[in-house]
Amino acid sequence: MKIKKLATVQMGYSFRSRLESSNNGDIAVIQMKDLLNDNTVDCGDLFKIDMEAVKKHHLVQKGDLIFRSRGLVTTSAILLEDPGKALVAAPLLRIRITKPKKILPEYLNWYISQREAQIFLTSRAKGTVQKMITKNTLEELDVLLPSLEQQKNIVELASLSAREQTLLHTLAEKREQYISTILMQFAKGE
């Protein structure tokens, strides 16, 4: 089923001028820098601005996906916490699930980063220097829809696999440091 039948895709808010930070700002802005490598959104240090009238449809909520529409990485990041009054800055796209009985946001977030989805998106990217995925292209992405229970299991297994990779990487670094220390002691004749 295509994303457009499961969710709404909306362009990020296009600011007319450079963003000016405000300590008393009541609107947070999610930017590219807030999207983490683990495909989640870091809401801990969002840019705050003063902005008068913000239309409700521009505001994000927990469970929304934020899609990287420009650059080499064309994946999404999920909002796992409520960011308060926040909006997404262009060129990012916001994806909001409209059929929660058919698809979990966490599953769609995982699915977008999978090989088949990435091949589809990359093959339809526009631009020569700066690659860009349009809103229409993203809406046309076909998503495989197992049962909600299977989706939940896929997300859990993917999370465990990512955690395993992180632990293995950390273990390899520690082992390398240990061996280097032992070899240096050996070289010093200790």
3-state SS, one letter per residue, for 112-179: HCCHHHHHHHHHCCECCCCCECCHHHHHCCECCCCCHHHHHHHHHHHHHHHHHHHHHHHHHHHHHHHH
Number of H helices, E strands in the chain: 4, 7
CA angle 83, 66, 33 (to 5 degrees): 75
Q: Is the CB of residue 93 less than 8 Å from the CB of residue 69?
A: yes
Q: Is the CB of residue 83 less than 8 Å from the CB of residue 98?
A: no
Is the pLDDT at 73 greater than 80? The verdict is yes
pLDDT tens digits along 88-106: 998 999 999 999 999 999 9
pLDDT at 14: 83
Give kind and range of the element (H or E) at residue 183.
Answer: helix 148-187
pLDDT tens digits along 9-22: 999 988 876 666 66
Is the pLDDT at 173 greater than 80? The verdict is yes
Mean of the per-residue pLDDT values of the chain? 91
- Domain range 3-143, CATH class: alpha beta
Which range of 11-25, 26-40, 76-90, 103-117 scores highest in mean pLDDT? It is: 103-117
Full-model pTM: 0.85
Which three-class secondary structure state does DSSP give residue 29?
strand
